[in-house]
């Protein structure tokens, strides 16, 4: 009897010793879904402490903070103030984003143009979506008038002062979600007890660290013509940014014609480049988002040249659902077979 108790004690002590001296807490998976920037934010984080909900909450707050800086719809955001005051001093970080965007505008011959605000307002796709068949497509004249107010050359920089010439209005819709992914990565990297994660902000995704099982992060690429279905998956490891621009995200159909939210700054109409979606993978969130929009407008051939110039990988899906990829993308993408 005595020896039985002794043995039990020994096992118990060994168990305590193993717990105290053994390896640290295994990362646990924490998942959350929320909204910010007018879209759905999905998070999967691998966390070594019991603070999972706090981390997902703070990620949402980070995204909300950036929205408060760059959304033209939020009255006292830096961009809204710039649009109404025509000139203002901005943070070093925003200055860099605006300057780099202007560079991509030049390199894409204006396919990406964040001075497109007037045209976006005119089309007001979200309103059209609500109205459906009662929605009004802008007239040629209205489009020509709005186009007069679109020109990225009218964004000037004098040190940290950004000056808007002409009647341009900035709209950062094409880069905002990717930019938010950069902010999320900065946040995740600062958290000692987060070992990995994947956060998606609408069409932009950031991955960080690793999964506890050592497997790749798997990012589903939406099928452009089959609602809620995936075309395939991209597999990545570590820090990576993935952005998709597609004509299926926000659109209405009038007389059998699709009018979507990605506008061609040369014509004033939704871009008709024979593509229905473009996905870009690179090591910078803002850049992946900027390039996916630019490539969508440019089309496959010029888009391919643009991503090569920026050292990014891309996947183009045309209207016949043919897929074209850069060589690096071929190694990451697996098409879903039914
Ligand atoms: P994305 O979904 O990232 O391709 O961005 C599309 C959003 O960017 C639209 O909802 C507009 O707010 C804005 N936008 C549309 N066309 C352009 C364009 N050619 N250049 C810059 N921004 C655009
Ligand atoms: Mg974009």
Distances (CA, A) of 313 to 83, 270, 324: 33, 24, 11
Location of structure tokens 């098409």: 335
Q: How far apart are the C-alpha atoms of 122 and 313, rounded to whole Å?
A: 33
Q: Which segment of 106-115, 189-198, 243-252 scores lowest on mean pLDDT?
A: 243-252
Share of the chain above pLDDT 70, in %: 90
Per-residue pLDDT tens for 100-119? 999 999 999 999 999 999 99
Question: Atom of ligand 1 at shortest distance to CA of 175?
Answer: 3
Q: Is the CB of 245 under 6 A from ligand 1?
A: yes
What pLDDT does 256 receive?
Answer: 82
CB 173 less than 6 A from any atom of ligand 1: yes
Q: Write down the pLDDT at residue 255.
A: 80
Q: pLDDT tens digit string along 45-81?
A: 999 999 999 999 999 999 999 999 999 999 999 999 9
116 lines ligand 1 (CB under 6 A): yes
Pocket test for ligand 1, best of 263, 268, 278, 285 (most atoms within 8 A of CB): 263
Residue nearest to atom 2 of ligand 1 (CA): 245
For the cut 90, the answer to whether the pLDDT of residue 124 exceeds it is no
Closest listed ligand to the CA of 147 = 1
| pLDDT tops 70 at residue 2 | no
Q: Please, are residues 236 and 217 in contact by the beta-carbon 8 Å criterion?
A: yes
In a mutational test of the pocket of ligand 1, which residue from 170, 261, 285, 306 has the highest number of ligand atoms less than 8 Å from its CB? Answer: 261
Q: Measured in angstroms, how far is the CA atom of residue 193 from the centroid of ligand 1?
A: 36
Those residues whose C-beta lies under 8 Å from the C-beta of residue 67, and which sit 6 or more positions away, are: 36, 37, 74, 77, 176, 180
Q: Is the CB of 120 under 6 A from ligand 1?
A: yes
Strand, helix or coil at 207?
strand
pLDDT band with cut points at 50, 70 and 90 for residue 132: low
Residue 184 to residue 41: CA distance in whole angstroms = 11
Determine how many CB atoms are found less than 10 A away from the CB of residue 8.
Answer: 10
Q: What is the number of the ligand closest to the CA of 280?
A: 2
Q: What is the number of the ligand closest to the CA of 247?
A: 1
Pairwise CA distance, residues 254 & 268, whole Å: 17
- What pLDDT score does 12 carry? 41
Please tell me whether residue 271 adopts helix, strand or coil conformation.
Answer: coil
Is 0.95 surpassed by the pTM of this model? no
């Amino acid at each position: 009897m005595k020896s039985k108790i002794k043995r039990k004690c020994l096992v118990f002590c060994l168990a305590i010793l193993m717990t105290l001296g053994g390896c640290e807490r295994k990362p646990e998976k924490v998942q959350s879904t929320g909204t910010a920037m007018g879209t759905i934010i999905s998070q999967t984080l691998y966390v070594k402490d019991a603070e999972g909900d706090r981390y997902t909450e703070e990620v949402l707050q980070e995204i909300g903070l950036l929205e408060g800086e760059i959304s033209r719809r939020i009255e006292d955001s830096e961009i809204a103030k710039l649009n109404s005051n025509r000139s203002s001093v901005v943070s070093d970080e925003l200055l860099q984003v605006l300057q780099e965007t202007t560079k991509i505008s030049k390199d894409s011959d204006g396919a990406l143009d964040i001075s497109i605000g007037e045209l976006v307002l005119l089309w007001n796709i979200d309103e059209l979506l609500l109205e459906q068949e009662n929605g009004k497509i802008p007239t040629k004249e209205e489009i020509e008038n709005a186009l007069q107010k679109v020109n990225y050359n009218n964004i000037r920089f004098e040190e940290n002062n950004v000056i808007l010439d002409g009647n341009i209005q900035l709209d950062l819709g094409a880069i905002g979600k990717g930019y938010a992914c950069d902010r999320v990565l900065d946040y995740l990297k600062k958290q000692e007890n987060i070992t990995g994660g994947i956060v998606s902000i609408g069409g932009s995704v950031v991955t960080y660290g690793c999964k506890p099982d050592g497997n790749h992060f798997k990012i589903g690429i939406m099928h452009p013509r089959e609602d809620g279905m995936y075309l395939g998956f991209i597999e990545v490891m570590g820090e990576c940014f993935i952005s998709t621009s597609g004509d299926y995200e926000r659109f209405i159909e009038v007389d059998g014609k699709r009018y979507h939210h990605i506008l061609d700054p040369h014509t004033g109409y939704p871009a008709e480049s024979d593509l229905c979606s473009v996905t870009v993978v690179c090591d910078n969130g803002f850049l992946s988002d900027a390039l996916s929009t630019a490539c969508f407008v440019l089309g496959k051939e010029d888009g391919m040249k643009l991503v090569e110039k920026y050292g990014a990988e891309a996947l183009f899906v045309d209207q016949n659902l043919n897929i074209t990829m850069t060589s690096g993308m071929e190694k990451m993408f697996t098409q879903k077979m039914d």
